[in-house]
């Protein structure tokens, strides 16, 4: 299939995408521009419209309003062409558990009507380190190995765009790291990735992140710049009784976030002077130590998530 995307053009360029289900606006006039080979993260509370947005952007769901292109094709009128060049990995494992790893990949390759099926499956097995397990039934695999198989199936037709919907839910930290090493490898080959995630160690893997709540994009920034964009001031609090320290700070004017980090509390606020006045409530506590620290990505996301309920709460 010829590539309709001009050199240097964004892989995704959409404006005003809107989706309603009944009287609920799940995605509200969403704009997005994504360059080739980037890893773009979507974060937000449950029901915030992340998955719906990803599906609309890539032609898997028809928007009620809006326009734009994905991979050079019109998202409204050429969705079939877009879908042929997309790999979509859902949160729930959806391959056949009574087939082996190889049989699942061969079946997927036939669905795409690919040629040289044996070579494609061999390459997929090698890419994801599945060669030694290729005869094992999918239903007998652990979460991490099921994840590898699902990714291999997504990539068997060599898509230009990869969609990941909570891709590492239920797998261990090492499996998540290995998974992201593979996604970075694909990005180096020019594959663009959109990922919906709640994991912080996944969020930091993204080049850029959009934060979505109530169907609206509230923040769209390079990952490295997000903490500065949110603008929290932070203090590290250590005390013999951290629970009591947290109790004294909860609800205090100037304290917008209290989060436990190991053997310390991070107290954060948008107004630095008010934050420091609130910390006076801790004066005299045994073992008390308060030190200024830079707020990071994790504090920023905890703050954003705490500020927003999901779309379907009453």
In Å, what is the CA distance from 236 to each residue of 5, 209, 225, 291, 296? 49, 26, 21, 5, 12
Cα 54 to Cα 50: distance, rounded to the nearest angstrom: 6
Q: Residue 53 forms beta bridges with which residues?
A: none
Question: Pick the residue with more confidence: 46 or 195?
Answer: 195
* Banded model confidence at residue 3, pLDDT cuts 50, 70, 90: low
Tokens of 275: 């934050």
Residue-level pLDDT at 313 = 43
- Judge whether residue 199 has pLDDT over 80: no
Question: What is the per-residue pLDDT across 52-87, written as a single tens digit (0 to 9) for each?
Answer: 998 898 888 999 999 999 999 999 999 999 988 999
Instruction: Output the average pLDDT for the chain.
Output: 89
Three-point CA angle 286, 296, 43, nearest 5°: 125
13: Cα within 13 Å, side-chain hemisphere: 13
Question: What is the per-residue pLDDT across 236-276, written as a single tens digit (0 to 9) for each?
Answer: 999 999 999 999 999 999 999 999 999 999 999 999 999 99
Question: What is the per-residue pLDDT across 31-40, written as a single tens digit (0 to 9) for each?
Answer: 999 999 999 9
Residue-level pLDDT at 49 = 87
In Å, what is the CA distance from 12 to each residue of 15, 49, 57, 71, 171? 10, 18, 7, 6, 30
> Which residue matches tokens 């004294």?
248
The whole model's pTM is what? Answer: 0.82
Mean pLDDT of 210-226: 88
- Judge whether residue 286 has pLDDT over 80: yes
Phi, psi for residue 24 in degrees, rounded to 5: -100, 120
Rounded percentage of the chain residues whose pLDDT exceeds 90: 63
Cα 68 to Cα 9: distance, rounded to the nearest angstrom: 13
Residue-level pLDDT at 45 = 77
Cα 105 to Cα 119: distance, rounded to the nearest angstrom: 11
Domains in the chain, CATH or no CATH each: 12-226 (3.40.50.300), 232-294 (3.30.70)
Question: What is the per-residue pLDDT across 142-156, written as a single tens digit (0 to 9) for each?
Answer: 888 898 999 999 999
In the chain, what's the furthest Cα-to-Cα distance?
Answer: 74
């Amino acid at each position: 299939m010829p590539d309709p995307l001009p050199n240097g053009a964004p892989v995704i360029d959409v404006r005003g995408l809107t989706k309603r289900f009944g009287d609920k606006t799940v995605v509200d006039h969403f704009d997005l521009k994504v360059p080739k080979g980037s890893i773009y993260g979507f974060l937000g509370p449950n029901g915030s419209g992340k998955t719906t947005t990803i599906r609309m952007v890539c032609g898997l769901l028809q928007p009620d309003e809006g326009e734009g292109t994905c991979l050079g094709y019109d998202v409204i009128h050429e969705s079939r062409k877009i879908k042929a060049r997309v790999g979509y990995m859902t949160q729930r494992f959806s391959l056949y558990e009574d087939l082996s790893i190889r049989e699942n990949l061969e079946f997927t390759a036939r669905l795409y009507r690919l040629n040289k099926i044996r070579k494609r499956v061999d390459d997929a097995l090698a890419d994801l380190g599945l060669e030694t397990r290729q005869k094992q039934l999918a239903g007998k695999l652990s979460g991490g190995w099921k994840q590898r198989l699902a990714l291999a199936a997504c990539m068997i037709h060599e898509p230009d765009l990869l969609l990941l919907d909570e891709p590492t839910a239920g797998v261990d930290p090492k499996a998540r790291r290995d998974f992201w090493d593979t996604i970075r490898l694909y990005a180096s080959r020019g594959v663009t990735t959109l990922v919906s995630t709640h994991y912080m160690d996944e969020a930091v893997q993204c080049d850029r992140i959009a934060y979505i709540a109530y169907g609206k994009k509230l923040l769209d920034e390079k990952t490295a710049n997000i903490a500065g964009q949110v603008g929290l001031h932070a203090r590290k609090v250590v005390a013999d009784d951290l629970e009591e320290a947290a109790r004294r700070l909860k609800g205090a004017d100037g304290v917008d976030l209290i989060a436990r980090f190991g053997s310390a509390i991070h107290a954060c606020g948008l107004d630095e002077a008010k934050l420091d006045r609130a910390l006076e409530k801790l004066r005299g506590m045994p073992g008390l130590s308060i030190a200024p620290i830079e707020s990071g990505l994790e504090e920023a996301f905890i703050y954003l998530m705490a500020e927003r309920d999901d779309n379907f709460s009453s």
